Amino acid sequence: MAELRIVITTLPESVAASVVETLVEEQLAACGNLVAARSIYRWRGEMCREPETLVVMETAATQAAALLARLETLHPYECPKILVLVPDQVNAAYLAWAEACTRAR
């Protein structure tokens, strides 16, 4: 049975669209949603407040490791947030579409 993975990351606004387009073009992600966000975090002892883009992507479970590896090479951050979530339920039509879009070449 096919399974879906949801991959979440944050990227600088300036590169978010191009990173997602690359991952979709390479058939590692079926889709990517870009949401404007403002992140507040501590980095190297300093409080940071940065505009970022929250990216939510879907991929087939069989492509998750390849997506993560490629995202790490494209990501400009030294310590990027890359989370992989396993949904409890996915409607069949969307799952079939996402799997078809991320079929290993």
Per the structure, the complete domain to which residue 10 belongs is given by: 4-101
Residue pLDDT, tens place only, 16-72:
999 999 999 999 999 999 999 999 999 999 999 999 999 999 999 999 999 999 999
Question: Can you give the pLDDT at residue 2?
Answer: 66
Question: Can you give the pLDDT at residue 28?
Answer: 97
Is 75 a residue whose pLDDT tops 70? yes
Is 1 a residue whose pLDDT tops 90? no
Q: For the chain, how many structural domains are there in total?
A: 1
Question: Can you give the pLDDT at residue 104?
Answer: 64
**The amino acid at 85:** L
CATH number for the domain harbouring residue 96: 3.30.70.120
Give this prediction's pTM.
0.92
DSSP label at residue 64 = H
